[in-house]
Amino acid sequence: MAGGRKFMTKSGIEIAKFLDKRESFASAQEIFLGLRAEGRNFGLATIYRALQSLTSTGEVDVLRRSDGEALYRKCGEDHHHHLICKGCGKTIEIEGVSVEEWAHTIAERHGFREIQHSAEIFGICPDCFTQAEPKRR
Amino acid sequence: MAGGRKFMTKSGIEIAKFLDKRESFASAQEIFLGLRAEGRNFGLATIYRALQSLTSTGEVDVLRRSDGEALYRKCGEDHHHHLICKGCGKTIEIEGVSVEEWAHTIAERHGFREIQHSAEIFGICPDCFTQAEPKRR
DNA sequence: AGCCATAGTGAGAATGATTATCAAAGTCAT
DNA sequence: ATGACTTTGATAATCATTCTCACTATGGCT
Ligand SMILES: [Mn+2]
Ligand SMILES: [Mn+2]
Ligand SMILES: [Zn+2]
Ligand SMILES: [Zn+2]
């Protein structure tokens, strides 16, 4: 299901590596600044291009922040959902057999085909709950 | 859970009525043009303001299109999810006891508090599947 | 009716993420 | 090295959303 691995440019590989080191979702702008902070300057266009390529193959997951900005994360190969801390952004990959069944059952009941679904959980992680200050954004 | 009904301006009521007549999600821009087509001109600022108020009370649901644009819909009072046709936009409100349980279980297992969740299903409705041409966008 | 305080409106400017341009720089087989 | 092709990135263009702020509508009061 993880689309045929696509060719990746030199920059694309760097950007994928950068995402690999992050545990949380990051926006294109954050990636841009994060790489720059490491001394490696890429153009924004290059970053957006790489991100487009990476998401099209499923190598990178994307979701939308409440303000509409797109967030990217390098994830596991297989289908999964996310548990995300609203405080620090910590992200845990989760499975959801019951969700898969639910989506399938509902869709079938209404005669829908070519089904997709989204399901994410947001909350405050234990660290952020005890600490006054969340670690990061 | 449906927040204390908030005061609504005259324009806000009109905009809520407009959404009431629609079965699908609509963007702010579509609402703007739709109202204009009915001869009633509202400023975009007014529409965005009303939408903000309506979503804050939970009277109107909001979700993000894949391109990031926000979509709004007048929905039922109680908590629910959506089954949305990718062809015509037809939207069906669905319940998901199993999803509620899943979210709760996962969150508890990882010690997360203040839980929220999102879960939507997308597909092609029977009408759009048989017809060559989807009705609307 | 006339006056005044306050809330609501909307044209237009500002913001900010994303995309489009396109010329310059890199790659690579011959 | 030459030429064909790909990649890059500074910059401009888009476009949804928010911000400004002068103007209008409303409602209480005399
Ligand atoms: Mn799933
Ligand atoms: Mn639910
Ligand atoms: Zn946290
Ligand atoms: Zn349909």
pLDDT tens for A8-30 read 999 999 999 999 999 999 999 99
Sorted by where each begins, the domain ranges of chain A are 1-77, 78-137
- Report long-range pairs for B51-54 (Cβ below 8 Å, ≥24 apart): B51/B15, B53/B6, B53/B8, B53/B12, B54/B8, B54/B12, B54/B15, B54/B16, B54/B19
CA distance A27 to A44: 12
Q: Which residues surround ligand 3, an ion (CB under 5 A)?
A: A 85, 87-88, 90, 125, 128
Average pLDDT for B20-45: 97
The pLDDT value given to residue B131: 82
Q: Domain spanning A78-137 has what CATH number? A: 3.30.1490.190
Q: Minimal Cα distance from B99: which residue of A?
A: A99
Q: How many CB atoms lie within 10 A of CB B84?
A: 23
pLDDT tens for A93-136 read 999 899 999 999 999 999 999 999 999 999 999 999 998 655 55
The pLDDT value given to residue B6: 63
Residue position matching structure tokens 């926000």? B70
pLDDT tens for A30-63 read 999 999 999 999 999 999 999 999 999 999 999 9
Q: How many CB atoms lie within 10 A of CB A21?
A: 9
pLDDT tens for A71-81 read 999 999 899 99
Strand C bases contacted by the protein (CB, 7 Å): 7-12, 17-21, 27
Average pLDDT for B33-52: 97
Please give the nucleotide, over all strands, whose C1' is closest to the CA of residue A69. C17
Could you tell me the pLDDT band of residue A137, with boundaries at 50, 70 and 90?
very low
Q: Minimal Cα distance from A112: which residue of B?
A: B125
The pLDDT value given to residue B3: 45
Least CB–CB distance from B112: residue in A68, A102, A124 = A124
Average pLDDT for B4-33: 92
Spacing, Cα B124 to ligand 4 middle (Å): 6
Q: Which B residues in the span 64-93 are in contact with A, Cβ-Cβ below 8 Å? A: 64, 68-70, 83, 85-86, 92
Residue B130 or residue B5, greater confidence: B130
The pLDDT value given to residue A30: 98
Could you tell me the pLDDT band of residue A5, with boundaries at 50, 70 and 90?
low
Residue A2 or residue A89, greater confidence: A89
Asked if strand D comes closer than 7 Å to A43 Cβ, the answer is: yes
Q: How far is CA B37 from CA B18, B31, B33, B34, B40, in A?
A: 12, 10, 6, 5, 7
Length of chain B as a residue count: 137
Chain B residues in contact with A61 (beta carbon < 8 A): none
Which ligand has the shortest distance to the CA of A89?
A: 3
Q: How far is CA A60 from CA A17, A40, A78, A122, in A?
A: 11, 21, 11, 19
**Taking 80 as the threshold, does the pLDDT of residue B120 lie above it?**
yes
Residue B3 or residue B126, greater confidence: B126
Closest-CA distance of chain B to residue A68, Å: 5
**Taking 60 as the threshold, does the pLDDT of residue B71 lie above it?**
yes
Alpha-helical segments (H) within chain B:
10-21, 28-37, 44-56, 97-109, 126-130
Tokens of A73: 């994360």
Contact criterion met (CB < 8 Å) for B121 and A101: no
Could you tell me the pLDDT band of residue B1, with boundaries at 50, 70 and 90?
very low
Structural domain A1-77, CATH architecture = Orthogonal Bundle (1.10)
Closest-CA distance of chain B to residue A37, Å: 27
What's the predicted TM-score (pTM) here?
Answer: 0.91
Q: Is B94 on the interface with A (CB under 8 A)?
A: yes
pLDDT tens for B75-114 read 998 999 999 999 999 999 999 899 999 999 999 999 999 9
Could you tell me the pLDDT band of residue A7, with boundaries at 50, 70 and 90?
confident
Whether A103 contacts B102, CB under 8 Å: no
Tokens of B122: 């997308």
CA distance A48 to A29: 9
Whether A72 contacts A61, CB under 8 Å: yes
